[in-house]
Amino acid sequence: MPKKKRRAIITCGYCHEYRNSRIDRTNGEIQKYCKIKKEFVIISTGICREFVPNDYFFCEKNGYWLDLLQCIERGNRKKHGCITCKQGKLIRRIYSKYKNRNDE
């Protein structure tokens, strides 16, 4: 039986609020206070209904910060390494689903 592909999850790490929150290291792991959820969250916490994507994210494949649109364009141009990138597919999903929330 073939393995079922798991879809990458959109997490707080891609949220504008998470990126602009203060860091807390009291429990030994990096946490940030989310003003929306009114609790401390870690980078892998699932998103809430008020999720607003941050304009930039850390590209794991290239090792530096990229704009969402730069990532999408790299995939469209079939840049080496970006064609099959799972994080790139996640960025496309985030942009198509949540891009208008910044304008509201």
Sorted by where each begins, the domain ranges of the chain are: 8-52, 53-104
pTM: 0.80
The greatest distance separating any two alpha carbons of the chain, rounded to the nearest whole angstrom, comes to: 46
> E strand or H helix at 57, and its extent?
strand 56-59
Q: Which residue in the block uniquely carries the two structure tokens 């891609």?
A: 14
Each residue of 38-49: pLDDT tens digit?
999 999 999 999
- Candidates 24, 54, 58; CA nearest to 41 is 24
Q: Residue 78 is which amino acid?
A: K
Each residue of 81-103: pLDDT tens digit?
888 899 999 999 999 998 765 55
Phi-psi region of 5 (alpha: psi -120 to 50; beta: other; left: phi over 0): beta
Q: Is the pLDDT of residue 2 over 80?
A: no
DSSP-based three-state secondary structure for 41: strand
Q: Which residue in the block uniquely carries the two structure tokens 């607003």?
A: 52
